[in-house]
Amino acid sequence: MFSRRHLIIYGLLGLAVLIQATVTPIRLLAEEKQDRPFSLAAIPNFFVDDDMGIGYGLQGAMYARPDAYAPYFYKFHANFWNTTKGPMRTYLFFDSPYLIPSYRLSVDLRYNDDSTSPFYGIGNWSLEKETYQRRRLNLATDLQRTIWQPPEGEENAHHKLQALLGLGIFNTDINLDQSPSLQKMKPVPVGAKGGWTNYLKLGIVHDTRDNESVPTQGYWLDLLAEASNSILGSDYNYLRLTSTLRVYFPLISKRLIYAGRVMGETLVGDPPFYELSYFANSAQWKEEALGGSKSLRGIPLNRFIGKTKFFSNQELRWLIVDFGFLKQDFTLAANLFLDFGGVWHDEVETDSGESTSTNTLKISRGGGMRLIWNKNFIVAGDIGNSKETPMAVYIGIGYLY
């Protein structure tokens, strides 16, 4: 369980960074360009999700200087939601490409309470869905240093090659009382008691997108290495190696766009079993795979997990129409998608698990709609389908990648 001391430390560290960002004297920069100082957006959280049930809460974002600086001078994104099936998540995220010259700073403070975290087995063996309790508190920060960029004024001046340095402080509380299969696994799964998984992250990021929130051309490549070690206060020693390539290009015009993503990751050493469901990226927070709204839409959340994972998303995006409402700029968009991937893991034994899948490639497909609000804030809805689930509905924020 998290002690009061842990909560105070995380809260103070996150608050210190956010206050520093807020009081930055951006008024000096405002003298150079005339634009809106802030753009605000907020929506209630109300959604139906196959994995989490009916969700409710609130999320919003504040963008500073979105007209003068692409995509913004800095951003705050806050979110809280609860669900009828148990999961509760809340976070505060800060990101600024300009606060520190030639650097991009991101800070993520969040708490997830997954009292019904799903478990179907490890690798491609399968069992009836079980749940376990997973409570997770983290503070993570990334600093990206621009090491190459064309001179301002050139056509490709927005292209960047960056070196990344990150630090994560993660504490996870685990309770396996509701998951007899996890308790009977041989050997006993690493991480059965939870603990600290602090890490140091190094990476290279090459980004040529023309727009971060709604890209129409370019690519975005991550090469990342995360090391968790006792030197950093971690209870586990392992290395996470991740590579992700995202590609965008217009087909007929910039209103009809192909968007593709390929992700590969492997963990070396002895990671706790609950880390097998996460994958790293340079956009700050870890997401979960395989299955769920952030990887294979239409396949249940964390349906397949393992030390090595691969997945790809293929999308056709259509920016249908632009319109104005209450002095706000909106774009209505639609997308079709095909998702596929697989996992690989060492052999494990349980009393009830069996190897039911001879095909390691899992496939889902579907479509969705987007409402783009003032170029940055995007309300998203997707419907996915697979052999695992006839229909899964997801409502959230932003494009998947």
The lowest-confidence range among 2-6, 171-175, 286-290 is 2-6
pLDDT at 54: 77
| Model confidence band, residue 359 (pLDDT cutoffs 50, 70, 90) | low
| Model confidence band, residue 358 (pLDDT cutoffs 50, 70, 90) | very low
Most confident of the ranges 124-133, 183-192, 289-298 = 289-298
Segment 65-98, tens digit of pLDDT: 777 787 888 899 898 888 887 788 899 999 999 8
Q: Where are the domains of the chain?
A: 100-397
The lowest-confidence range among 22-31, 70-79, 298-307, 358-367 is 22-31
| Model confidence band, residue 201 (pLDDT cutoffs 50, 70, 90) | very high
Residue 348 pLDDT more than 60? Answer: no
For residues 348-375, give the mean pLDDT.
74
For residues 318-342, give the mean pLDDT.
95
What does the DSSP assignment read for 221-283? Answer: EEEEEEEE-GGGT-SS-EEEEEEEEEEEEESSSTTEEEEEEEEEEEEEE---GGGGGEE--TT
Express as a percent the part of the chain with pLDDT over 70.
Answer: 86
Could you tell me the two tokens for 154?
């050139």
Residue 338: partners with Cβ closer than 8 Å, 6 or more residues away? 313, 314, 363, 364, 365
The Cα–Cα gap between 305 and 323 comes to 42
Residue 16: partners with Cβ closer than 8 Å, 6 or more residues away? none
The lowest-confidence range among 86-100, 131-145, 302-316, 344-358 is 344-358
Q: Across the chain, which distance is largest between two alpha carbons, in Å?
A: 69
pLDDT at 21: 38
pLDDT at 330: 95
For residues 250-262, give the mean pLDDT.
95
Residue 352 pLDDT more than 70? Answer: no
For residues 300-329, give the mean pLDDT.
94
pLDDT at 48: 65
pLDDT at 316: 98
Segment 378-399, tens digit of pLDDT: 989 999 999 989 999 888 888 9
The Cα–Cα gap between 164 and 140 comes to 13
| Model confidence band, residue 363 (pLDDT cutoffs 50, 70, 90) | very high
| Model confidence band, residue 188 (pLDDT cutoffs 50, 70, 90) | confident
Residue 377 pLDDT more than 60? Answer: yes
Closest CA to 319 of 239, 380, 256: 256
The lowest-confidence range among 157-171, 173-187, 189-203, 257-271 is 173-187
| Model confidence band, residue 244 (pLDDT cutoffs 50, 70, 90) | very high
| Cβ-based neighbour number of residue 38 at 10 Å | 11
| Model confidence band, residue 172 (pLDDT cutoffs 50, 70, 90) | very high
Q: Left, alpha or beta for 11 (phi > 0: left; psi -120 to 50: alpha)?
A: alpha
Closest CA to 189 of 1, 351, 349, 304: 349
What average pLDDT does the chain have? 85
| Model confidence band, residue 350 (pLDDT cutoffs 50, 70, 90) | low
The Cα–Cα gap between 401 and 389 comes to 23
From the options 2.40.160.50, 2.120.10.30, 3.90.550.10, 2.60.120.620, give the CATH code of 100-397: 2.40.160.50
| Model confidence band, residue 159 (pLDDT cutoffs 50, 70, 90) | very high
Q: Left, alpha or beta for 283 (phi > 0: left; psi -120 to 50: alpha)?
A: alpha
Residue 256 pLDDT more than 60? Answer: yes
CA atoms within 13 A on the CB side of 99: 20
Residue 136: partners with Cβ closer than 8 Å, 6 or more residues away? 111, 112, 114, 170, 171, 172, 173
The Cα–Cα gap between 78 and 80 comes to 7
| Model confidence band, residue 47 (pLDDT cutoffs 50, 70, 90) | low
The lowest-confidence range among 2-16, 196-210, 256-270 is 2-16
For residues 131-154, give the mean pLDDT.
92
Residue 225 pLDDT more than 90? Answer: yes
For residues 233-239, give the mean pLDDT.
97
Express as a percent the part of the chain with pLDDT over 90.
Answer: 55
